[in-house]
Amino acid sequence: MEIHRLAKPLRLAALALAGAVLIGHALHFGFLSDDAYISFVFARNFAEHGELVFNPGGEPVEGYTNFLWTVLLGALMWVGLPPQVSSIALGIGFALATLVVTFRLSRAIAGGPSLWDALAPALLAASAGFACWATGGLETQMFTFTVALSLYLYTRADENPAALSWLGPALAAAAMTRPEGLLVAGVLGLHRLARNLAFGRRLVRRAQELYCVGGFAALWAPYFAWRWWYYGHPFPNTYYVKASGEPPDGYREELWSNGLYYVGQWAQESGALFALPLVVIGLLVARPRSPRLVFGTAAMALAAAYLAYTVRVGGDFMGLYRFVMPVTVIAAVGAALGLRAAAEWISRRRSRPVVGAALALALVAGHAAHQFPRSVRAMEEGNWAADRGIDTPSFLDVYARDRRVIGKHMEPCFEEDDFSIVGGAGAKPYYGRIRGIDVFGLVSERIAHEVPPTNPRAGHNKWGPNELLLEHDPEFVFSCYSLHEQPRSPQLNCRPGFWRRNGYEMVTLHIPGLVERGEYYTFWVREDRLERLDCPGRVDGPDEGHP
């Protein structure tokens, strides 16, 4: 499968085919998660009011962890592109860009072009998780692209020292897209220091290394200083949701157990577990100082650190391994390199192109056969059962769609100064233009900093106590609610006595188009606000239809 003059167009055609497969695969999912709408709210307020806040005119709370993504969506909203469209287009675009980076990375590692360069992109295009999170509306693929680009530039640095000058801005972009970008920068920095000491007995061997550090600091340091000044804390609010407060006994052990389970599911579902021998061969069997060994040791160190971090925070509640997508890219590149090494070893006695083509086609076909059925099942209607707190993409889709319907239906119900307590801070507040806080503390500084974590499920670690929520004197309480099939006797997710004793009454709306649990929606409204409540589909009757 080595390249020659007539085969060059085939190399690009193979990459184009992988890109086409990825687009079709991603559009099979084509959904928006509720968490994406949290960023949409911040982006809209940035576009309309010049404020990166959840509540315009309110106290700034950093309820997002994807600064560059949110600002980019806000800028596109300012010119008239809605995030429901732009986030999908950008997600697929960044995923395609990652295919190009892995394509060029393979060439850089091998020292020349080859048809093998298209193997890693093909594996990613067939990956259920990689395709799924090219949609979803989140920053996953933007972050994955910046990490892949950083690894590419790092691998090229020995051959082309100028790549180090671009590495700093690439790492800064990663760190400004996701907090885990700092982990990537730290691992690559330590790896470079270790190589410098091993081969030159010096911490700094090239001036470009200083340019790299300077380029990173020039972008990231002002951003960090502004963030601390604007929001009042050095870390995002979501960090304090996960890390602030003393948890009960056994909490950390269960959190880490969930993280181990999440990583295990990623290894099995992505195929990384089965490809592990190829990955190890591809990343670590190489000559000293070769680009393959530079990439392989750096990528293995990053994967180990990233997976350990994932275990430490308890994994993620969204299915198909969104949280570890950069490691998925590393596994795909490693598997492609390992298969190439195996083909070259076998072909000592056989025709190299025939052997290589057969092995590559077998790997891609086997991977696709393993992944495509998972993609189908992941989006099946009714496939909504969580696996140890990990939600399926199908459930994430229907959850957000139902909240989108509720938000659109209820937008006329709200007055400008209304304040609400919500559960999910995404689609319903976005479409309903609801001001308030969420009970999980993502956009509540007090819950994040004052309430200890009690739930070891990632992303749902805290729950604001009723007494704290009542201090906000909300007009609406949506965190104590029910979705049900009949207009009477809702099954609330809380004890209703507290809110009834404190001057709130239940209201039920009939909202056509709800799918998951029925078309009737019950929540709480403060008594004095109830007199002015004008909502379509309201169920009338004694005590608003409730016994």
pLDDT in tens, 424-435: 899 999 999 999
pLDDT band per the 50, 70, 90 thresholds, residue 542: very low
| Spatial contact of 137 and 87, defined as CB atoms under 8 Å apart | yes
For residue 230, give the H/E element and its range. helix 207-231
pTM of the model: 0.95
Could you give phi then psi for residue 137, rounded to 5 degrees?
A: 80, 0
Please tell me the number of Cα atoms within 13 Å of 32 on its side-chain side: 25
| Tokens linked to 531 | 């007199």
- Where exactly are the structural domains of the chain? 5-30+62-241+256-378, 393-545
144: Cβ contacts below 8 Å, ≥ 6 apart = 94, 95, 98, 325, 326, 329
Q: Is the dihedral of CA 165, 169, 175, 180 positive or negative?
A: negative
For residue 422, give the H/E element and its range. strand 420-422
Query: What is the model's pLDDT at position 110?
Result: 87
CA 310 to CA 175: how far, in whole Å? 16
Query: What is the model's pLDDT at position 359?
Result: 87
% of the chain at pLDDT higher than 70: 96
Query: What is the model's pLDDT at position 5?
Result: 57
CA 375 to CA 58: how far, in whole Å? 41
pLDDT band per the 50, 70, 90 thresholds, residue 352: low
Residue 545, pLDDT above cutoff 70: no
Q: pLDDT digit string (tens) for 176-229?
A: 999 999 999 999 999 999 998 888 767 776 788 899 999 999 999 999 999 999
Residue 354, pLDDT above cutoff 80: no
**Cα dist. 532→405, 501, 504, 535 in Å?**
22, 21, 14, 10
Q: pLDDT digit string (tens) for 293-348?
A: 999 999 999 999 999 999 999 999 999 999 999 999 999 999 999 999 888 888 77
| Spatial contact of 330 and 147, defined as CB atoms under 8 Å apart | no
Q: What is the DSSP letter of 2?
A: B
Residue 543, pLDDT above cutoff 50: no
Please name every residue paired with 484 in a beta bridge, in sequence order, or none if there are none.
520
- Cβ burial of 254 (10 Å; 0-12, 13-18, 19+) is middle
CA 152 to CA 418: how far, in whole Å? 50
pLDDT band per the 50, 70, 90 thresholds, residue 547: very low
% of the chain at pLDDT higher than 90: 83
What one-letter code names the amino acid at 546?
H
Lowest mean pLDDT among 165-179, 365-379, 460-474, 533-547: 533-547
Q: What is the mean pLDDT of the chain?
A: 93
Return the higher-pLDDT residue of 371 and 358.
Answer: 371
